[in-house]
């Protein structure tokens, strides 16, 4: 073995200075000499070769949150990324409802999706595309995290396919309290008082409502929210539930009356900024800006809790912006509250996706976003004291004191209706289409299998 070491350490390819003793020694010495003479010496001018990198575990997350909401979502995911080392690629788009079917047809579904409509989630669950969460997260854990009605909203045919990450109180009217004080206006408690306030604002030469429906491929949802809120207040939860299930058609008087009540505002050029053209052209996320101009371009804005994420920089909740619930119309039904939310579902059953779903079902990401503001969680593990401002705590109070709570109807209906013909129909109505024609077209689009 000493002779082998001597050979390997030689700096030239000369024959060894000793005669081999055995034929086997000849073979070994010759082989080692060949290796030594054909070894390529390292290039001193080049850095040493890098060790091959271990692939980083990655998953894709598709959602409708963009801008400031996306930033807060990513902050809420940071502890998960740091703890697991899993890279989360979030893909945010306003065109979620149209992009997801395209990716489905192309076979490029994300690992996980954050659905803004449980009806759309139910469509994919019905196709067998979603992974039941019962085998991933213990039912007892889910029951401890969410009230029964939220668990029910995430279920299809007795199985849970979605967990709720964000809730929105939709039945809110935003206003600038200082602008109200300067103009001598008071917060209305009834629909009659709201109408009186609107007439007073118009008589003062001002415009009551900020209202913008433009939302790209999702244009129309702002208007359908109005219809749903009005039906709850004029016809009550029972009729509302029957309408959501299509037990009563879109041509029913309750639905027609709600469209006309909305039209009394949206189609009145004195009631909305920019008139009807403004309603159609102003992006929903820019429509509240008029509350905060000097002088105000408008004094009232009906929109869900999340809209504060889009307020102009410098607007302070509680000082520059406050809320009151959209008032009741028929006293028989008290004060019902319309809610929405984002539900998370899993398309691909991977270890990475399972870990993220379990994390999203825990209080941690909910608490992080709650502390950042502009967010309301349905998770029972989030204390009201977590919210950083009085306005958000007031939203939680409105939700807890509601006489009835119903989920956004368009989000519960089959996707072809709720996020299709209903959205399109309310837009057509504002554009001037005959109301009866609009309602008949929406009703005819209801899938036969869901009738």
DSSP E strands in 132-238: the ranges are 155-156, 159-160, 163-169, 172-175
End-to-end C-alpha distance for the chain, whole angstroms: 88
Work out the angle between the directed axes of helices 236-244 and 221-234 (0-180°, nearest 10).
140
pLDDT in tens, 102-146: 999 999 999 999 998 888 898 899 999 999 998 899 989 999 999
- The strand pairing partners of 336, in sequence order, are 404
Q: Is residue 32 predicted with pLDDT exceeding 60?
A: no
Work out the angle between the directed axes of helices 118-126 and 96-105 (0-180°, nearest 10).
10
Residue 271 tokens read as 């009631």
- 60-167+340-396 matches 172-338+410-450 in fold: yes
CATH superfamily for domain 172-338+410-450: Periplasmic binding protein-like II (3.40.190.10)
pLDDT in tens, 183-225: 999 999 999 999 999 999 999 999 999 999 999 989 999 999 9
pLDDT of amino acid 117: 82
pLDDT of amino acid 451: 57
> What's the longest Cα–Cα distance across the chain?
118
Q: Is residue 50 predicted with pLDDT exceeding 90?
A: no
H helix or E strand, kind and range, residue 406: strand 404-407
Q: Is residue 15 predicted with pLDDT exceeding 80?
A: no
Least confident of 13-27, 68-82, 93-107, 282-296: 13-27
pLDDT in tens, 139-176: 899 999 998 878 888 999 999 999 999 999 999 999 99
Contacts of 17 (CB under 8 A, 6+ apart): none
Q: Is the pTM of this model over 0.75?
A: no
| All structural domains of the chain with their residue ranges | 60-167+340-396, 172-338+410-450
Residue 81 burial class via C-beta count within 10 angstroms: exposed 0-12, middle 13-18, buried 19 and up: middle
Over pLDDT 70: what percentage of the chain? 87
User: Is 354 in contact with 57 (CB distance < 8 Å)?
Assistant: no
60-167+340-396 belongs to which CATH class? alpha beta
Q: Of 164, 167, 118, 132, nearest to 145 (Cα)?
A: 164
Radius of gyration (Cα) for the chain, nearest Å?
31
């Amino acid at each position: 073995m000493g002779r082998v070491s001597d050979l390997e350490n030689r700096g030239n390819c000369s024959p060894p200075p000793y005669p081999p003793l055995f034929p086997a020694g000849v073979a070994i010495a010759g082989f080692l000499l060949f290796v030594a003479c054909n070894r390529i010496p390292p290039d001193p001018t080049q850095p040493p070769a890098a060790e091959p990198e271990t692939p980083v575990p990655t998953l894709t997350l598709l959602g409708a949150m963009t801008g400031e909401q996306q930033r807060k979502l990513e902050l809420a995911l940071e502890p998960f990324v740091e703890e697991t080392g899993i890279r989360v690629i979030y893909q945010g788009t306003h065109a979620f409802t149209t992009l997801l079917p395209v990716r489905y047809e192309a076979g490029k579904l994300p690992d996980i999706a954050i659905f803004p409509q449980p009806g759309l989630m139910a469509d994919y669950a019905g196709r067998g595309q979603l992974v039941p969460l019962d085998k991933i997260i213990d039912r007892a854990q889910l029951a401890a995290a969410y009230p029964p009605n939220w668990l029910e909203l995430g279920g299809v045919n007795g199985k849970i396919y979605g967990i709720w990450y964000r809730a929105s109180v939709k039945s809110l009217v935003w206003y600038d309290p200082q602008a109200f004080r300067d103009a001598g206006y008071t917060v209305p408690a009834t629909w009659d008082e709201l109408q009186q306030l609107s007439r007073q604002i118009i008589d003062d030469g001002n415009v009551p409502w900020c209202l913008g429906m433009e939302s790209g491929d999702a244009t129309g949802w702002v208007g359908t929210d109005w219809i749903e809120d009005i039906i709850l207040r004029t016809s009550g939860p029972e009729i509302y539930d029957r309408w959501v299930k299509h037990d009563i058609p879109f041509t029913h008087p309750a639905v027609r009356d709600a469209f006309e009540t909305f039209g009394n505002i949206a189609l009145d050029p004195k009631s909305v900024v920019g008139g009807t053209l403004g309603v159609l052209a102003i992006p929903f996320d820019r429509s509240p800006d008029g509350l905060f101009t000097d002088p105000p371009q408008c004094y009232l804005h009906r929109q869900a809790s999340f809209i504060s994420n889009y307020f102009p920089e410098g607007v302070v909740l509680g000082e520059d912006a406050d809320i009151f619930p959209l008032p009741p119309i028929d006293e028989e039904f008290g004060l019902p509250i319309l809610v929405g939310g984002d539900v998370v579902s899993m398309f691909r059953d991977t270890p990475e996706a399972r870990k993220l779903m379990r994390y999203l079902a825990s209080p941690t990401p909910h608490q992080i976003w709650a502390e950042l503001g502009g967010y309301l969680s349905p998770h029972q593990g989030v204390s009201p004291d977590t919210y950083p401002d009085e306005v958000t705590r007031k939203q939680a109070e409105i939700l807890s004191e509601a006489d009835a709570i119903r989920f956004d109807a368009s989000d519960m209906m089959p996707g072809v209706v709720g996020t299709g013909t209903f959205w399109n129909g309310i837009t057509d109505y504002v554009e001037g289409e005959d109301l009866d024609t609009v309602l008949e077209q929406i009703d005819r689009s209801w899938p036969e299998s869901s009738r």
